[in-house]
Structure 1
Amino acid sequence: MNVLLIPSDNSKSSGAFLSMVQLAKLLRDNYDCNVYVMVQRKGNGSELLMSNGIPVFYNRAYNWVISIGEKRTFAFRVQKLAKEALNWIAIKKLNIWLKRNNIDIVHLNTSWTYIGAVSAHQCNIPVVWHIREFLEEDQHDEIWDKKYGYRLMSDSSKIIAISKSIYNKYVNILPKDKLSIIYNGIDSVRFYREKHVILNAENVNILITGTISESKGQIQIIKACRCLVDSHVENFTLHIVGIGSEEYTNKLQALVKKLELTDKVVFHGFCGNTEQYYEKSDITCVCSKAEAFGRVTIEGMLSGTLVIGAACGATEELIQNNKTGLLYEYGNENDLTNKIKWAVTNKEIARSIANCGRTYAKENMTAVINAQNVYSLYQEVMEKKNENKN
């Protein structure tokens, strides 16, 4: 089976891109698929693909997502028309490439990109569309022309939602019979730490990792740290791993200084090997408002840390409260503080919950399981295509 995967970005720091790379490797190694990736822009993700022996096809194109509330001025519309014209050139180029390489399935990796679907339809090739994000709710973005966008997505052979939360958003927008829930998969070889025991040292290491942005909720855990100190819990360090806009990062650093937490909070910046932080952490916090899946949640579980997450979005699906992790009320720093204090004062129970989380993630949320489910879906698509031929 010849498969073309199309991401919307080209960055090895992108969760969606990393998930795609892992999927590509497993489809190739476990299911004998010939997997190619078309990238629409220059970036360091290409290096990761090539280092894993995955062929890369560069075809310059633009995404169809804009910021919510972005003013659609005359200049903006002219720019949009210019991008669409360039996209049509990219589509014609892709048509030739698809036919030359006898592609069986075109698989779009996110809802940000679309030219692969247009090209596949023109070449009569089935489309699988992966929806990995909450555009409006989390990223504050939207498809430029939703009516056209949803119609194009509806023409896919299959649409993958990476969580029940994503499925519930789109089940009344896109064809229900084409929607499937396939949870994201995490590299268990990289993150699984069977012997990691938490809360053994005097100092408690708390970790929050991912893009630094308002939607990821770093501000909540920083404020919770102040609450911890005020309630005489001072033997902890908060590690913030990730990058974001300079403006918002400066805002968080200023808050840390204002709350007199400079000796309690450490900003580490971007790290390509986040497993090293999980290995040294006791608690992983997931404070996002609208997590479409939450790689961090499963990475934290696989690593054996106690995951404390906001009770919203897909985080609420992945964590069984008091069984595989702890849930707190989003936006309620006092509740988050109390969950951390409970873990610190009930270490044996907290360890047991973390161990259950590790087992749950290993048995249900690995990249191997994800690839198996995706390949089964591919087989359905190809069987239907062959039936239609006959």
Structure 2
Amino acid sequence: MKKIITILVLGGLAWAGFQYLQQNKGPEAKRARIVPNVVVATAAMQAVRDEVEALGTTLANESVNITAKVTEVVASVNFNDGDLVAKGELLVQLQDAEQRAKVTVAKVKVSDHQRELKRISTLVTNQTVAETERDRLQTAIDTAKAELEQAESALRDRRIVAPFAGRLGLRQISNGALLTPGTSITTLDDISSVKLDFSVPERFLTDLIPGKDVEASAVAYPGELFIGKVLSVDSRVNPATRAVTVRAEIPNPQAKLLPGMLMKVKLIKQSREALLVPESAIIPIQKKHFVYLVNGYNRVEQRQVTVGLRKRGWVELTDGIEMGEQIIIRGILKVRPGDEVKPEQEEHFGRHYDDNGETAA
């Protein structure tokens, strides 16, 4: 009987001690029950591109150095630095008084010979004048016309005009200057669109097809992309660099891009849809790759995946994940498969997570 009473007393004391411990657990015991917060991302299809990066230099669509064809004094300069000009617009007028006089003389000769030919035509028909006289006058007319064309050409050479529409460079001459052939007057560039030349390693030759998309950026315009297409590919590979020059064309309606600019280029070899996840979600273990998922019961699951193309900050998953599944991208180190978690779609500004999932301001 005493033994039974002793057992009952000890059992009661043990139960009382258990209840006391349960009611008076310390901070560590309470912290162990906290469900950790994790940040998840939804697996979704996104555009993925296979691209080649390079550095390129811009060229004007058309470019010319304006010079004179003859030696003559400048009569007037009709442009300013940086002007936009139309095709055929007069840029420089050279002195041309002598040439205009020669044109007038040549026109008078042509008219005089034509009147004389008309006068004797009837006489030749009536056989009053020999046909050789008519032939002589016809030759004189042809010669006078040739002299007229020569004089008009010399007169045109005194007018220096824009060969195409574009933007002028800096003016290099002044009124009264004596120009000689080859003297630089200014430059003219058509930059309504620009050419972009860049080098690509020869191993990509099969992908270099005219019409491929390119994206380019310039230091002068941070954050802005200029879109163009491959125009042509050089017919030779540089034997020193083992690279081939590719030329792309980029529309430039606002004239932001100027010849000679250095640009970072991305040649888009292929574009397609793929299942992408942030790179921070991948857990590499030896040669295998895993991710942690959050299921419908807010429990962590480990899943082996197959990794495809990688791009900056993102990884393509070709197998192991379905669209719409929630993948843990932050807080991976504080959870294990089977743990209960509190998933959040994004990290809140100003909130930090400790090792046990608690938040602090």
Greater helix percent: which structure? 1
Q: Fold conserved (TM > 0.5)?
A: no
Q: TM-score, normalised by structure 1?
A: 0.17
Higher relative contact order (CA 8 A, sep 6+): 2
Higher strand share goes to which structure?
2
- TM-score w.r.t. the length of structure 2 is 0.18
